Amino acid sequence: MKQIFLSIIMLLTFAPGCQKKLPDNAHLLKQYISAANSHNFEILTELISENAAWHLHGDTLIGRAEVLSPLRFDEAINTKLDVRNVQVRGDTVDFDLVEKNDVLYGLGFDSLIHFGRFVYSNAKIVLKTSRFPPVPFKTLSDSAVAFYQWLKFSDSLAYNQVISSDGKFQYSYKSGKIILDQIPKWRKRNQ
């Protein structure tokens, strides 16, 4: 009798349909985070729609190439992401995103939390939004402004490669490397 009971439990545990599966969009988010952390642009390109948009803290990036540009910046600054509190509602996935990277560390921060939202269509991201909690972001923003003001006057060539003539941040691998090179000089000046 005990063997029959164990056999039924095993059958139910491993039978298709009885196993707990991640919702498809939650699985896609997990793939995205894994690809972002390993800087696998082949997979990231597959996961992002050609016409995707990313509302990123005041900037709006349109099209796959623009949406990928902050991820190239992230590659240069060694960004690692972790997701928490994932909530799936149809095609929309809301989550908390913990970001760590060398720039945050250089500015005096261990990590930064974003509130993220991805909207999917046909298993591709069509819309990304990111927003920060106001208090920690203001503190980070103040540090970043101080850094960029210092950079503008101490190395205008580097500044002009990071900030465009219209005042927009240039998301690229190169701008990430420039910032990583400059932050230790800025910190040393402030000590």
The SS3 of residue 64 is helix
Task: Please state the separation of Cα 90 from the chain's center in Å.
Answer: 22
What digits encode the pLDDT tens for the residues 23-50? 489 999 999 999 999 999 999 999 999 9
User: Whole-model pTM?
Assistant: 0.81
Q: What CATH number was assigned to the domain covering residues 19-189?
A: 3.10.450.50
How many alpha carbons fall within 13 Å on the CB side of residue 35? 18
Q: How confident is the model at residue 62 (pLDDT cuts 50, 70, 90)?
A: very high
Give the residue among 69, 35, 44 at the shortest CA–CA distance from 54: 69
Give the pair of three-digit tokens for residue 110.
Answer: 């261990």
